[in-house]
Amino acid sequence: MRARHALANRREAAIAVALIGLLGASCERPPQPPTSISRFPADLANRELKPAGIFEDGWISPIASLNLYQPEGKPLLIVRGMVPKIDREDYRTSVEVRVDRHVVARQSLGLGEFTLEAQVPAMPGKHRIELTFDNPQILPAGDGRAIGSRLSFAGFEPAARRAVGTDIVAPGTGIRLGSCWQVLETFHNETFRWVTNDARILIAAPRAGTQRLEIALASGPGLEGKSFVLQARDPSGRQVAAVEVRGRQTAELLLPVEAGENDFRLHVDGGGHATPGKDPRILNFRVFRIEAD
């Protein structure tokens, strides 16, 4: 009798251990790709990354893609790299960044290092990131690979990680930059972003009312440096505010906002003139600073 009881107890214990193991296994997080890559070739070893067109030495093909994991919150998607000089001093290429086949950024690039930043929707989880360069180069010295650039970083970073003053909008202000902004530039100790047209500003408002926005900006070659009317439009294209800009100044816009996130576009009529020199971009105006109170 005692032997049968002992055997039954051992069986019950074994079943309990097995059940605990199964429950523990069911609670384990499935494998995920990294939130970013920056070390080559080490970071390419993650099987969930599933890279395509990314070489072990960091060079990437004209079309390259990878899986990345977007964390909680509203991070920035950032791509850093370098366009090499192979043949021409005036070489330029354009890069398009897609997340799950949706375009989040486009930028014209010259030679040297570059940084692309894109605001992305708050959608935590695995996403497919694709980079497309429209003017590939061929690596010299018998290498022969067609490349778009050399990648140094691709991944998600919290917007708050960026230091105050590193962009035209300081973090923690309730203002975010949406699409259609050119890459952040610094020239003669001034930091700014160029705009062709319809650059988006996203404003988080605690309540409905009027939001006062200050924008330090200046006319560019696309407008031939002339005065212009800066319009703020809502997503339907309706003008909600406007101000005349003469030369370089700080303009004030009074924007009607609802509680939550509000989407506005900075629009100008006319413009579109070519930029003198070798820059193929249309640079209608540039913005140095955006503040709200």
* 291 CB-near residues (< 8 Å, 6+ apart): 170, 173, 175, 213, 214
Unique residue bearing structure tokens 């395509």: 52
Region(s) of the chain under CATH 2.60.120.260 = 162-293
The predicted model scores a pTM of 0.50
pLDDT of residue 113: 79
Give the phi and the psi of residue 49 in degrees, each rounded to 5.
Answer: -65, -40
Unique residue bearing structure tokens 């897609």: 98
Q: pLDDT tens for residues 143-175?
A: 999 999 999 889 988 765 444 346 898 776 788
Strands 125-133 and 93-99: antiparallel
Q: pLDDT tens for residues 78-134?
A: 888 889 999 888 899 989 999 999 888 888 888 887 878 787 888 899 999 999 999
At residue 265 the predicted structure's pLDDT band, cuts being 50, 70 and 90, is: very high
Tell me yes or no: is domain 162-293 CATH 2.60.120.260.
yes
Q: pLDDT tens for residues 174-230?
A: 888 888 898 888 777 678 899 999 999 999 888 899 999 999 999 999 999 899 999
Q: pLDDT tens for residues 10-69?
A: 665 555 545 545 544 444 557 889 999 988 999 999 999 999 999 999 999 999 999 999
Fold (topology level) of 28-160: Jelly Rolls (2.60.120)
Q: How far is CA 86 from CA 53, 93, 135, 139, 188, in A?
A: 20, 13, 13, 7, 28
Asked if the model's pLDDT at residue 254 lies above 90, the reply is yes
Q: Cβ(280)–Cβ(92) under 8 Å? A: yes
pLDDT of residue 137: 95
SS3 category, 282: coil
β-pair partners for 80: 115, 153
